Each structure stands twice: as C-alpha cells, then as structure tokens.
Structure 1
Amino acid sequence: MMERIVAILILLLLPCGLIAEDRAPNPQAGYEHLINTPYLPPYFDQETFDNVWKVWPKPLRDQAEGADADTRRQMAFERYGLTGRSEDPTKPLQYVVDQKGNWTLNCFSCHGGQVDGKTVPGLPNNRFDFAGITDEIRLTKALLGKRLVPTDYSSLVFPMGDNKGTTNAVNFGVALLSLRDADLNLVPGASFPKMLHHDMEPPPWWHFAKKENIYLDGFAPKGHRGLLQFTLVKENKAQAFRDREDDFRDVYAYLSSLEAPKYPGPIDPAKADRGRIIFNNHCSECHGTYGDKADYPERMVPIDVVKTDRARFDSLTPAHRQAYGQSWFNTHGQQKGLIADPEGYVAPPLDGVWATAPYLHNGSVPTLWHLLHPGERPQVWRWKGLAYDHQQMGISVEVLNEVPQGLSSIDRREVFDTSRFGKSATGHDFPNVLSDAEKEDLLEYLKTL
C-alpha cells in the first residue's frame, strides 16, 4: 500500500516526454496524452468531488450549500488550486477525468497554473494544495461510504507539502525507484531509504527546451525515459514503461514546444533598456542573454556562492543519483552527462520570470521586487488574494510578524514561514551591489523576458 501511496505523489516530480523511430513526435498529441490518458490508478470519482464541499468549514459549507453546481465547482477549484482547461473550463487541467467520471492526477497538477487571471499550461501551479485535496477527499469518501484507496492515506504517512504550490517531489522519485531494479522490475522486500524531506516549487516547463540536464541540481541528462518516473506505481510492471514510450515522445515534443507567456501590462521602454544593460553586466553570466543573440549557459552555481536554502542540495546522495543513472530511465547509463555529486544549483533561464512567483527554488520569496531587495524579504507572509501584483511583480501578499494561531490546515498552508526547515529565503544576495534606481530599471527589463 505504501508503494502505491508514494507513486501517486510522484506526479509532481517531473515533466514528461519521448520520440518514436517510425513517426515524428506530435506536440499536440503530447498535450492530449497528459489530459486524457490515466497513467495511474484513479483517485476519486465525480460524485466524490461534487460532494467535497460538505466537509468544508461551516461558513464556506453554508455558502456552497446555497450555490449552484457551477459555483460549487469553482469554489472547489479555488480551494485546491485547480484551473479549468481552455477547451473545457468545466474540466480540471490538473486531472484526467474519464468517461466514467474517475479522476486521476496528471503532470499539470504542479505544472499548470494561473497568473493574472489566465490559465497557462506549463506554468508552476503556485496554488495546488495536494495535502488539502487529499485530506478532504478522504473525509468525503467516508461521508459517502465509498471505498478508500491508498492515496487517501498519503498525507498521513508521507509529507506532501507544507505550503500551497510546493511539494516533497524529489523524495517521491527517490522512494519509488528504490523499490525496483535497474530494469524497473519490483524487488521483493525492498524498502524506502532514509530521506531528507523538504518542499520545493516546480520549474516552468518552457525552460525544458533550453536545458541539457534537468532538475534543480542539473544531475540528470534530459531524455524521454526519465520523464516516465511519475508512473512508478506498483500496478505498472516494467513492460508498462516500454509500452508508453511513444506517448511520452509526444509529451517530450510538447514540452519542447512551449514558450513563456508575454507580460500583459505596460512596459517603460527607456527603463527597460537601462535594465537590459544592468542585467547583461550583472546577471547574464549565470542566467543567460535574451533577444536576437539569446544564449543560456546552464551554469551550476556552487552552494556556498548562491547561499540559498540547501535542504534540496543535501537531500540526494551520489548513490541516489547513480541509481537513476544506471537505470532504464537513463538507458542504463548510456546517456552521458549524469552528475552524481553536483556543486550546487543550476541558475535557471528567466524567460517568463514575471509569471513564475514565488521565487527561489523553495518558493520562499513572493515577488521579484523582494528577490532584488534581499534585506526586505518578509520572514512570514500570507497570500492576500489571487490578483497579480504588477508593482512588485509577483503574488499579492500580507506581511506578518508571526504565523497566526488557530488556523485550519488549509489556511495554514497559505502562510509561508521562512524560519522552518527548507523554507529559508536567504541567499542570492547578488542584487545588493545595485542601487535602488538600478534595481527599478532591472525590474522593468525582467518584464520583457
């Protein structure tokens, strides 16, 4: 049961992709696979989702009781961080919903979000509450007398994320792969290794095309097989991964086709032009250049230089990375470029950076303004609403002196406390060399990327 629980969770780990020898990969087919093909066992059914409001706190429950079905659905979408699909707003982008009404988590749970009122596939979903929906679906099933599945217990036995939009994704992959051999056959009696649990924010998928290696520490060579890791449920035998390669060749093509969304607000050309010079002088060495001569160096920055929270850096050992490198996912080591013992974190591309708040790999910094002003980063902050903050460029937040007492578990995950393990907002202090005027110009330039 534990293996299946963690297998459902690994959805949050990665993008997905592949390329068949007898046909060209199809990006649109890749998108269709993600939203229509259940690669995991179903989690709950439509009846359960339609009744989940009945376990909400009384004020919200009373509001839902007096609402129509469409309003209730939208309330549930907002509570758990779900968004409607552009082609059918009644269906969640983050789940496959089959003709029988079964709901199965897909990659968009973490990699499909909303910014400035617009749903963007490939955008980090900074509102997804995996623990929240899991806990309340379990309660709803009990209320309806429905059979529970292993995933219903997942948040009770495996950390799923202390804040909305972040998950313990890396450890999902480590745990599930540890139960199989290099050919992905299940190993009788295998158990999970000791792991350092921590939360992190997913990367935007439009970065995928620019990279040779994936993950925050850049340890894994990019390839379609590795992107099948999220289907490592016990029910999927080793042959299932071979059978699905064509699907994920299409998904790989889909990820590679994505482009960053354009900033929708006004941009001051003069300030942005001054900001471009500042960026090229101070930021491009790590984050690359943009425009006609765009170049991305995929540079790894030593942990003692970037000085951001090191929980993610410390969470994987060389043995963990080597196990992946010698497995079927990495063509049994034939793909070159595995980094078993990286020095730190890879500086990401900044295409569409305006849309990807909160910032740093653990989602601890709410806006780009705060990222550029390290001394002003809030120690405790809370979501103030879904509106985009065009002034500071990021999510709208309320700065708090401490975490309020008496919050429900879901409301608690709206509050980010940077004093907690793995949640630090320190590091990336490089903007300290800039004046306030230079930071203002740089902020304007970032809107253009």
Structure 2
Amino acid sequence: MRQRSGMRSLWFGLALLLAVLGWLLFRSDRQDLAGDLDRFKYGSLGGELVAGIPYPIFVALPQVFPDLLASHARQGRRADGSGPADYRAFGLAWESGRPLPIGFSIKRLGVERVTVNCALCHTTVYRLTPDQPPRHADGGPGHTVDLQGLLRFLFASARDPRFSASILLPAIEQQSPLDWHERAMYAALWIPLTRLALRVAEDQLAWMEQKPAWGPGRDDAFNLPKYVLTQASWDDTVGNTDFPALWRLGERSGHLVHAGGEARKVAAVIATSTLGTGALPFGGFDARRQWLERFLSDLAPPPFPGPVDSALAAHGGALFASHCAVCHARDGARTGQAIPVEEIGSDAEHVSTFQAKDARRMNRVTAMLGMDDAELQAAQGYVARPLLGVWLLAPYLHNGSVPTLDDLLTAPSQRPVLFYRGYDVLDTDKVGFVASGADAQAHGFRFDTRLRGNGNAGHDYGTGLTAPEKRALIEFLKTL
C-alpha cells in the first residue's frame, strides 16, 4: 500500500508540473456567456489548468472509440446495442445547438479546453411520456448522469493504443480543420499530454473499481476528496450517495449540509465541490465561488407538470404538518439537523466514510490553500432537508435506494429489492421515475439494494398511514 501511495504521489506531482508549464506557456481568453443561467450551465470554474481536455480531442473520442463508448455507457442503450453515439450515452443533458452537454465548459488556455462544472451533476432530465423530448430542470439532481461510466470511457480510451496522433488527428480534422503548425502541436504535445493526464487521473481514481458501482445519479461523494485531495490510504468504506438538488440554498443558512452534515455552511460545500472539479484556489476562484452561492441562493425548482387535486392536497398538507414538518418544513424544529443513524435506520455506510480524522486531513489541505470557508467535519448522521421539488428528487433516501414516494411510504421490508434507476420518464402516480418494465431495463441501471451502501431500510415515517392518507400526502408533496 505504501508503494502504491508513493506512485500515486509521483503521478500527481508530474501532472501538476505539466499543468504549471501549461499555465506559463499558454494564454487564456474570456468566455462569451449569455447570462447567469448560461454561466451556471456552461461557465468555467477555472479547472482548465489541471483538468482541461483539448476540445477537438474530447469531441473526437466517441468517434474513435465507439466500441469503448458502447461497453462503458449504460444510458440510452437498446437491446440491440444501438443508442447515442456521443456523450449523451452517459445520460447527460444536451441542449439543441450546443457543442457539448450541459455541465461542460469550453474555455481557451493555449487551446480550447473542456472542463466540467456544477451543472453536470445538478441538472435533472425528465419526460412525461416516452415519446416526448427531454426537459431540463436546472439545479436539480442529475439522476441520469453516469459519471463513473464517463470516467471509465475516458480512462479506457487513454489506455488504448489507438489514442495516438496517427488515429486521432484524422478524426479531429473531421470536426476542426488544422493548419500544419496546429497539427504539429497536437501530434507532439496535446495528444500525448492528454493521454498522460488521463492515465494520471485513472491512477488517482483506481480505488473506485474496488467498491460497488455508483450507477447513474451518484458518486462516492467523500471518498473522492479523501483519496484524491488528501491522498489518504484506501480503506473499505463505501460512500455512494445521490447527487442532491441545489435549489434555494439561501434557505439553508444555519443548516448542516451535505448528506451526512459534513459541512456547517453552504459556502464550504461550494468551495470544496469547486476544488473537486480541478479548479485551484487562485485566479478568480473566490469570485466564482461567491457568484455560485448567490446564484443558487434563490434558484427554484419547476412546478409539478401534471394536474394536482387541490382538495386532496389540502388534506395531505395537514398530514405533512403533523407527520413530516418537524424535519422537512422550512422552519421545522429539526430541519437542517443531522438525524442519528440509530434513529433514522438508513444505510450507515455513508456516515462511516468521512470520519473526524478524514475531516482533519481535508481541513489541513484547504487551510494550506488559503480556503477559509471550506472547513468540514465528520459525518453526523443524515441531514433532514427542507423539501423542495420533491417530485424530481427520486430515487429517494441519501443513496437513492427507494424508487418512488409510494415506495418510501411502504414498510422497508416491502420496498423493491431490485429496480432500474436512471430512466428519465416520470411516474406521476407513485411520484418518481419509472423503475421497472422493459423501457426502464433497457435505459437504466440495475440497482440492487442488497449491495453495500445500497440498503433501503430506515426512514419508516408515514408508513403506518392508511392508504387514502398516503395518497393525500403524496398529492401534497407534488406541490412542494
């Protein structure tokens, strides 16, 4: 383990050296963005130096490696193996007329480079029926986004002998014609450096192959910084956690944040998450972080897109007040607090992932980088969040182990053991996404609640209500 840690540190140091050389040698341009929403979806967080991939290389990879795309992409694949032949295969939201999906930024640093931003994991894709075009909810949980599949595709491409100038340059020039000077630069510099950077990143993330798969809509939220940013030794913890919604974060002032209460204020969440995209805390880092905090402070979810029975919802509102409001109303007595695992009964794996020793290591890193607002603490339990846009938050619980609200109000022993997550068609009756049947199986990820970190037990509040009461409560939850 010590030898592996030393090799990881060597790779990391080499990548940092190359990045610094790139910073010294190449110029940067401003982005031309239409407004705040455009900035959220496509604006740079400053990660070009460490994590940027030249745009022509990035867009060429699905064409050069269609076999690797098919083997690593789960979203949108059909029984015959057909499906999207670009990055949409990973469940990403892509607006018409845009060169890349939502959540990808293109900014010049020597060449145009692609990096990711918050919108990649925080844009919800949904449809009311299978024959409708997808809709997007800005700031919502990216339940279709197969981040691990995307990473595996990029890493497999970099390992492949076809990742070479002789193969990539013709594919690049189909999209972006190059002059002789640019061809020489790509052959001698950009292609080999990109391949090296991806190999370094794969080494830094090799631990994820020893743990249960994330599946779409999730990542291992605190093992990522623990192993990558603090270079902690690998352990056997499993922290797979759903991407949360970012709506109206201004109302979370004074609350614990992150699923396990690992941060005491929103600023720490944004600072550390931005750092995790590859951005370094200089060159406008604080200004970008502060802008994000302002933008997300009042970003609202879309309203429920179907009819709501107002009389039934009113009855459900009274049930919510008596059974749920203490933890989930904006001013609830326990809203924003961490409910101990012993009380809530949910899968405890996430809470075990980030302990006091891990928080101390992370805080030393951020303090060294001058990030005063980034202090974290050990996981406390599971945070009771104020409910917003509930109809788009499925699957439910911190690990996405319960497909619909109807299932959540069912006794844990009777909840689905196996279902498919990542399909984007709404189940407006049970409230969630369609999680069974041929279409869900063809487009989704098989989720097994018996695997570590995937448990669907706990949060049995409301399970004792009568069937009509549950129906009324769900009708009210559509309005939040």
Output the TM-score relative to the length of structure 2: 0.71
Residue 346 of structure 2 corresponds to residue 308 of structure 1: yes
- Long gaps (5+) in structure 1: 9-25, 65-70, 180-190, 405-410
How far did 1:241 drift? 3.6
Report the equivalent of 1:217: 260
CA distance 1:101–1:395, change in 2 (3 Å)? farther
Report the equivalent of 1:445: 476
How far did 1:360 drift? 0.6
Report the equivalent of 1:159: 208
Aligned equivalents of 1:97 and 1:155: distance in 2?
Answer: 24
Report the equivalent of 1:16: none
Aligned equivalents of 2:276 and 2:313: distance in 1?
Answer: 48
Residue 31 of structure 2 corresponds to residue 48 of structure 1: no
How far did 1:311 drift? 0.4
Letter in 1 for 2:416: P
Letter in 2 for 1:360: L
Contact kept, 8 Å, 2:335 with 2:385, in 1: the verdict is: no
CA distance 1:388–1:223, change in 2 (3 Å)? closer
CA distance 1:55–1:330, change in 2 (3 Å)? closer
Contact kept, 8 Å, 1:94 with 1:107, in 2: the verdict is: yes
Letter in 2 for 1:32: R
Letter in 2 for 1:200: T
Report the equivalent of 2:220: 168
Aligned equivalents of 1:271 and 1:165: distance in 2?
Answer: 32
- 1:239-318 superposed matches below 5 A: 240-241=281-282, 243-288=284-329, 297-318=335-356
Higher relative contact order structure (alpha carbons within 8 Å, sequence separation ≥ 6) = 1
SS of 1:305's equivalent? helix
Contact kept, 8 Å, 1:309 with 1:424, in 2: the verdict is: yes
Residue-by-residue CA offset, 1:329-348 (whole Å, 9 max, x unaligned) = 69989779x78455421111
CA distance 1:2–1:231, change in 2 (3 Å)? farther
Letter in 1 for 2:115: T
How far did 1:97 drift? 2.9
CA distance 1:396–1:236, change in 2 (3 Å)? closer
Residue 247 of structure 2 corresponds to residue 206 of structure 1: yes
Report the equivalent of 2:184: none
How far did 1:115 drift? 2.0
How far did 1:230 drift? 4.0
Aligned equivalents of 2:362 and 2:247: distance in 1?
Answer: 24
Residue 97 of structure 2 corresponds to residue 92 of structure 1: no
Residue-by-residue CA offset, 1:46-80 (whole Å, 9 max, x unaligned) = 2224444343559x9xx99xxxxxx98x5534420
Whichever of the two has the greater Rg, that structure is 2
- 1:117-128 superposed matches below 5 A: 117-128=134-145
Report the equivalent of 1:421: 452
Report the equivalent of 1:185: none
Contact kept, 8 Å, 1:308 with 1:424, in 2: the verdict is: yes
CA distance 1:311–1:48, change in 2 (3 Å)? same
How far did 1:258 drift? 0.8
Contact kept, 8 Å, 2:249 with 2:298, in 1: the verdict is: no
Aligned length: 394
Aligned equivalents of 1:271 and 1:351: distance in 2?
Answer: 19
CA distance 1:296–1:30, change in 2 (3 Å)? farther
CA RMSD in angstroms comes to: 3.9
Contact kept, 8 Å, 2:104 with 2:116, in 1: the verdict is: yes
Residue-by-residue CA offset, 1:172-218 (whole Å, 9 max, x unaligned) = 12224425xxxxxxxxxxx5464613311011001522223321122
CA distance 1:255–1:156, change in 2 (3 Å)? closer
SS of 1:272's equivalent? helix
Letter in 1 for 2:39: E
Of the candidates 43, 62, 67, which is equivalent to residue 36 of structure 1?
43
Report the equivalent of 1:13: none
Report the equivalent of 2:270: 227
CA distance 1:233–1:390, change in 2 (3 Å)? closer
Aligned equivalents of 2:35 and 2:43: distance in 1?
Answer: 12
Residue-by-residue CA offset, 1:355-376 (whole Å, 9 max, x unaligned) = 1111110011111111111343
Of the candidates 110, 116, 119, which is equivalent to residue 108 of structure 1?
119
- 1:128-147 superposed matches below 5 A: 128-141=145-158, 142=160, 143-145=162-164, 147=192
